[in-house]
């Protein structure tokens, strides 16, 4: 039977379950990646499982988030991560080598392989034909231990591309167009699989931009074919032997099709504070801008920065704003230096930052008060930039550099002729900043190094049949993991210390949440649609669990956060009738009768004297994991 790319890869990797939409399947995982903001906790969990070497084909630990070293915490974590990599057979990408998704695409990603990473933008590797998914750190830890990764078998949405992008329009505009059509929850339970003649006009970095930011639709992952374009990229990276052809069969069918004519696209921009709030740049042109930031895992490739360098050549950054640039990898920097294009950026007055995530996660370069920042990033959630009242717009490198020159939001098509530049036939390959795994006989002699900020893993007891407590917080729709567990230079260094980081849970929503949760002995969170969208950060489940949160009751959940709640023993429940959301208020005392979680659940609102029916999407295995207190005690019994 004719198959899609998704069907072909999943067929080879399903070890349990049937390929029926909505049914749970367990997948064999070939590759994993972690980054330092989530990796320290993931490796503490891996150590707690108790095996002596990873079971995956390739696992890579990156340091790219917490590189701002204002005290001992981040460098101590980096030292821990390097020693863990040496001990357990993991590649280690050293600080400053590059952003995990860019470097993984360049040096590790392979067509047809499954990949999970403790970062929500892991689907970047879908640009090369990997089936790549973001996941919580505990799911990555258990995959490294040899356990399969479980997902609901997705609907497969075919995104048919025809035509060719006009000058000044790029891959960022393609994914912004997808977001304009389906918004930030339109991809939930789905894979976005790109096909059609327009695919052949896009390079691997173009495709990776699209799959990277596809995460913002809530989809399971996004994926492109592995074709002659993919082969050329792998040959240029000195990895031609890893190429395999992977394209949909002629008769392949999709559950839904989205048609996009690339020739008809124009420069787009996402408005504050959602990646799905998309408009044409021309409708907002002329708006004063205070900052332009170019980079992140979405738009830091050599192609993107060559565009920027050649547009700004012999020009100067507007005196009304400042401009930052974060290259995605040392390979990108080396090419820009060799070609002389780095000089264009320096002469223009761009501020050159380290090859890291940086401003995207609020790690430096925050905008001014009420500042307008145009960024080539993938998220513009309120406060994520480090400035609460900043207005962040998401755009392509073309829009960003045009804006940097003029000082106002600018449609780049007004600049005239599109710059011409050449991409290298062969990339500079220098893996000296990637430490390879030690042989087992050497690795077993390595001592793991712990810094004083690394706290022991908290442990949680099994769940009773009835959960009791107050409603600690009630929120609206689209609460992000940045709302639940903020990032930024102050909080990210605490990722390996749950008692300390828990003090910042819901800080931007309710500054008294931490104290209230401890005073009340825990309780419940009530929320609207799409609760937990955004980052894969498991601390958004782990820290609330530490504070005693027993269940989250919503209208709907984002995929990765739902899995993280299960992993840490917080029961994810939904209103059977969404209108019942209005019948529960902060301070209400609840008994939630969960039993064995094999069926529906009853919420008894003691304050209002009413019963409310709840439901869930838990499998029998999910229920089993929850009842024993989470995935770590469950997996330790089995491995």
Q: Are 204 and 229 in contact (CB under 8 A)?
A: yes
- Indicate if 65 belongs to the active site: yes
Catalytic residue among 64, 76, 304, 411: 64
Q: Are 289 and 315 in contact (CB under 8 A)?
A: no
Terminal-residue alpha carbon distance, the chain: 37
Catalytic residue among 65, 121, 150, 303: 65
Kindly report the backbone phi and psi dihedral angles of residue 345, in degrees, each rounded to the nearest multiple of 5, phi listed first. -70, -45
> How far is it, in rounded angstroms, from Cα 75 to Cα 58?
25
- Indicate if 535 belongs to the active site: yes
Kindly report the backbone phi and psi dihedral angles of residue 2, in degrees, each rounded to the nearest multiple of 5, phi listed first. -65, 140
The H-assigned helical ranges of 313-355 are 330-339, 341-348
CA angle 268, 271, 276 (to 5 degrees): 80
Prior bond of 602 cis (ω within 30°):
no
- Indicate if 71 belongs to the active site: no
- CA 207, 212, 217, 222: dihedral to nearest 10 degrees? 50
- Indicate if 537 belongs to the active site: yes
DSSP 8-state class, residue 152: E
Q: Are 534 and 132 in contact (CB under 8 A)?
A: no
The three-state secondary structure class of 306 is helix
Catalytic residue among 384, 514, 537, 616: 537
Catalytic residue among 30, 77, 119, 482: 119
> How far is it, in rounded angstroms, from Cα 295 to Cα 299?
5
Catalytic residue among 303, 335, 379, 483: 379
- Indicate if 379 belongs to the active site: yes
Catalytic residue among 130, 301, 318, 535: 535
Q: Which of 89, 98, 298 is nearest to 212 (CA)?
A: 298
Q: Give me the sign of the Cα torsion angle 165, 9, 39, 620.
A: positive
Backbone dihedral region for residue 421 (phi beyond 0: left; psi -120 to 50: alpha; all else: beta): beta
Q: Which of 235, 314, 276 is nearest to 529 (CA)?
A: 276
- Indicate if 64 belongs to the active site: yes
Look at strands 610-615 and 601-605 and give their pairing: antiparallel
Kindly report the backbone phi and psi dihedral angles of residue 133, in degrees, each rounded to the nearest multiple of 5, phi listed first. -135, 145
Q: Which residues are catalytic?
A: 64-65, 119, 379, 535, 537
């Amino acid at each position: 039977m004719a198959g899609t790319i998704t069907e072909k890869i999943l067929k080879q990797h399903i070890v349990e379950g049937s390929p029926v939409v909505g049914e749970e399947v367990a997948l064999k995982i070939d590759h994993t990646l972690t980054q330092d903001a989530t990796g320290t906790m993931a490796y503490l969990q891996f150590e707690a499982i108790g095996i002596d070497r990873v079971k995956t084909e390739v696992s890579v630990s990156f340091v790219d988030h917490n590189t701002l070293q204002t005290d001992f915490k981040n460098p101590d974590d980096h030292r821990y991560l390097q020693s863990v990599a040496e001990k357990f057979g993991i590649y280690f990408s050293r600080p400053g080598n590059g952003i995990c998704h860019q470097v993984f695409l360049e040096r590790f990603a392979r067509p047809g392989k499954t990949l999970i990473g403790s970062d929500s933008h892991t689907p970047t590797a879908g640009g090369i034909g990997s089936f790549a998914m973001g996941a919580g750190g505990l799911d990555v830890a258990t995959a490294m231990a040899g356990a399969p990764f479980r997902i609901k078998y997705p609907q497969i949405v075919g995104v048919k591309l025809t035509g060719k992008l006009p000058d000044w329009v790029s891959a960022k505009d393609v994914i912004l167009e997808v977001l304009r059509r389906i918004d930030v929850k339109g991809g939930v339970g789905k894979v976005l699989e790109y096909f059609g003649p327009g695919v052949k006009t896009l390079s691997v970095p173009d495709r990776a931009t699209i799959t990277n930011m596809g995460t913002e639709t809530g989809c399971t992952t996004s994926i492109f074919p592995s074709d002659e374009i993919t082969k050329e990229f792998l040959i240029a990276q000195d990895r031609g032997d890893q190429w395999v052809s992977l394209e949909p069969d002629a008769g392949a069918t999709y559950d839904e099709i989205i048609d996009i004519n690339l020739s008809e696209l124009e420069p787009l921009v996402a408005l504050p504070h959602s990646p799905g709030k998309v408009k044409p740049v021309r409708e907002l042109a002329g708006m004063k801008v205070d900052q332009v930031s170019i980079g992140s895992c979405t738009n830091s490739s050599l192609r993107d920065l060559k565009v920027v360098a050649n547009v700004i050549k012999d020009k100067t950054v507007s005196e009304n704003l400042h401009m930052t640039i974060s290259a995605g990898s040392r390979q990108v920097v080396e090419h820009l230096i060799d070609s002389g294009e780095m000089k264009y950026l320096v002469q223009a007055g761009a501020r050159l930052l380290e090859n890291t995530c940086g401003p995207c996660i609020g790690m430096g370069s925050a905008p001014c008060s009420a500042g307008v920042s145009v960024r080539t990033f993938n998220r513009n959630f309120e406060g994520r930039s480090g400035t609460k009242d900043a207005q962040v717009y998401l755009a392509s490198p073309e829009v960003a550099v045009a804006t940097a020159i003029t000082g106002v939001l600018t449609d780049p098509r007004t600049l005239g002729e599109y710059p011409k530049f050449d991409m290298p036939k062969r990339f500079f390959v220098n893996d000296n900043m990637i430490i390879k795994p030690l042989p087992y006989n050497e690795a077993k002699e390595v001592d793991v190094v712990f810094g004083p900020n690394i706290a022991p893993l908290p442990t949680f007891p099994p769940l009773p049949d009835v959960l009791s407590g107050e409603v600690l917080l009630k929120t609206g729709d689209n609460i992000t993991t940045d709302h639940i567990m903020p990032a930024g230079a102050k909080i990210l260094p605490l990722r390996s210390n749950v008692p300390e980081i828990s003090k910042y849970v819901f800080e931007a929503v309710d500054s008294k949440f931490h104290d209230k949760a401890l005073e009340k002995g825990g309780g419940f969170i009530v929320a609207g649609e799409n609760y937990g969208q955004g980052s894969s950060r498991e601390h958004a489940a782990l820290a609330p669990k530490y504070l005693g949160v027993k269940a989250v009751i919503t209208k709907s959940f984002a995929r990765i956060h739902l899995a993280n709640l299960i992993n840490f023993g917080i029961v994810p429940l939904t209103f059977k009738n969404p209108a019942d959301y209005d019948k529960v208020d902060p301070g209400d005392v609840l008994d939630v009768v969960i039993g064995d979680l094999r069926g529906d659940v009853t919420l008894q609102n003691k304050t209002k004297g009413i019963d409310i029916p709840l439901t869930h999407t838990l499998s029998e295995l999910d229920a089993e994991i929850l009842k024993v207190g989470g995935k770590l005690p469950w997996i330790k019994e089995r491995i």
